[in-house]
Structure 1
């Protein structure tokens, strides 16, 4: 198997010790010790009336793993992520988090959306981040501790009293991440969260996401169209077939040291394999739509 790429088929001696009180642990340290929640998808299908979005989805995602879902447009990546969040139900098969069926939205399943419009514009950054704890009846002092910790984690303590409209797009996305983490979820689901950002901001947030994931210990499922983004972030990459009725085409383990070097020969080989897999599905989708002539012209450089 090519290095860096793995495609799957699926106190003593009588010594006197003195006990000392351990230093208080932060929430993120406690979360990292917990190592997230395990997700399991078995034979799952999702239909909307006569439309079959995905079928025969099998994924076993260990606690603490970072999994990227990659595939052509319209293949059902976001639909599958919505099912993992409990926003929609699987039509067949099963979907569980730590062995418990996902039957609806749950604080254990945090969702970071592509659009920062998911933030409450009329609330300050502090109020957005503490919304979940406030709804659970946490004291003001506890809310302040939550805001301080998670805004610190995303580097935005200095923005606590600002409103979302006063922030850049990248900063708003970091507030979204802090708001999700403030609920201490076992799983963080991210639906192309950096897709609308400029390249430089996107690169910074990719690095920050990797750092936050290591600090929090959450399981992450991250939807993206970007092959390089998947290689940079993921422990494993799941490639989906073209829709409708999409399934998992291939699953790769990204056995590369962190932080990742995009020029690493193993990273380049993996990029080529992922491009080949996705290219096959894009061509299949175009042929299914009767676009064979266009494919032939493009192949000839017309």
Structure 2
């Protein structure tokens, strides 16, 4: 099987702190992988390494080619909707990268229209980000990434700041978009239920510093998924227990010991 993203023996040092140490992970073309773990375990740092924003020791490959910096084949959706340019309309935000590359107006407009339709924002194309809800801004950010037609989409807790109802809607929409595009997705989240709903595999990490991959769980559930199924509940408990062990390590280091789950 070919590999979209591969990390081999990857270690990341920020200042004097070794954030992640000896990480090995591969993501197949078209695969949806969720990265799960306690705060401070290096999830976002690893995502930034793959994005090309942060340098690391070890081997980091995209499609078999070493990653030395950002590239249009790897799109990043950030947690904050403030990543949109507030002085540009939604359409102009989506067209921005193509305009910088010198793509003709007709071609970039056609592509922007395509992806605005895909995320359900055609009617908001001429609005500014400040005129949109949080969920609409995140959809606009996803459309901006899709307009570059990346083979890999990196998502750093993109729904973390949204209300529960909006988050649920966007989870469903993201799964649909993933299926339509065929891109590989690496999705950072703290939400165990979200990871079960979305992922082909859930990768959990140990607490940092020197965080490592703790476990990799196959999500062998048919789509669309329901968290009320017996298999989903079993998997949720397993992942919750994995994360609880790591959270308790943090609390113990801080002088607080819990008798049960975190």
TM-score normalised by length of structure 1: 0.84
Q: Does 1:123 align with 2:123?
A: no
Q: Distance in 1 between matches of 2:53 and 2:14?
A: 14
Quote the offset at 1:136 in angstroms: 1.3
Q: Does 1:136 align with 2:104?
A: no
Q: Does 1:74 align with 2:35?
A: no
Contact 1:150 1:181 in 2 (8 A): yes
User: What's the counterpart of residue 24 of structure 2?
Assistant: 58
Q: Distance in 1 between matches of 2:15 and 2:157?
A: 26
TM-score normalised by length of structure 2: 0.97
Q: Does 1:162 align with 2:127?
A: yes
Q: Distance in 1 between matches of 2:152 and 2:21?
A: 23
Quote the offset at 1:52 in angstroms: 0.6
Q: Distance in 2 between matches of 1:94 and 1:288?
A: 32
User: What's the counterpart of residue 261 of structure 1?
Assistant: 226
Q: Distance in 1 between matches of 2:21 and 2:255?
A: 23
Contact 1:37 1:186 in 2 (8 A): no
Quote the offset at 1:257 in angstroms: 0.4
Q: Distance in 2 between matches of 1:202 and 1:156?
A: 17
Q: What is the SS of the residue equivalent to 2:187?
A: strand
Q: After superposition, what is the alpha-carbon deviation per residue over 1:98-138, rounded to whole angstroms, capped at 9, x for unaligned?
A: 01111101111100000000000000011000011111111
Gaps of 5+ in 2: none
Q: Distance in 2 between matches of 1:82 and 1:163?
A: 28
Q: After superposition, what is the alpha-carbon deviation per residue over 1:117-167, rounded to whole angstroms, capped at 9, x for unaligned?
A: 000000001100001111111111111101110000000001111100000
| Correspondence for 2:79 among 106, 114, 117 | 114
Gaps of 5+ in 1: 1-35
Q: Distance in 2 between matches of 1:274 and 1:37?
A: 25
Contact 2:3 2:64 in 1 (8 A): no
Q: What is the SS of the residue equivalent to 1:130?
A: helix
Q: Which has the larger radius of gyration?
A: 1
Contact 1:126 1:161 in 2 (8 A): yes
Q: After superposition, what is the alpha-carbon deviation per residue over 1:141-195, rounded to whole angstroms, capped at 9, x for unaligned?
A: 1111011100000000011111000000000000000000101111100000000
Contact 2:3 2:26 in 1 (8 A): no
| Correspondence for 2:208 among 218, 243, 258 | 243
User: What's the counterpart of residue 273 of structure 1?
Assistant: 238
Q: Does 1:188 align with 2:153?
A: yes
CA RMSD in angstroms comes to 1.3
Contact 2:52 2:69 in 1 (8 A): yes
User: What's the counterpart of residue 47 of structure 1?
Assistant: 13
Contact 2:95 2:144 in 1 (8 A): yes
Q: Distance in 2 between matches of 1:51 and 1:144?
A: 45
User: What's the counterpart of residue 193 of structure 2?
Assistant: 228
Q: After superposition, what is the alpha-carbon deviation per residue over 1:224-243, rounded to whole angstroms, capped at 9, x for unaligned?
A: 00000000000000000011
Contact 1:235 1:254 in 2 (8 A): yes
User: What's the counterpart of residue 83 of structure 1?
Assistant: 49
Q: Distance in 2 between matches of 1:49 and 1:164?
A: 35
Quote the offset at 1:289 in angstroms: 2.5
Quote the offset at 1:263 in angstroms: 0.9
Q: What is the SS of the residue equivalent to 2:217?
A: strand
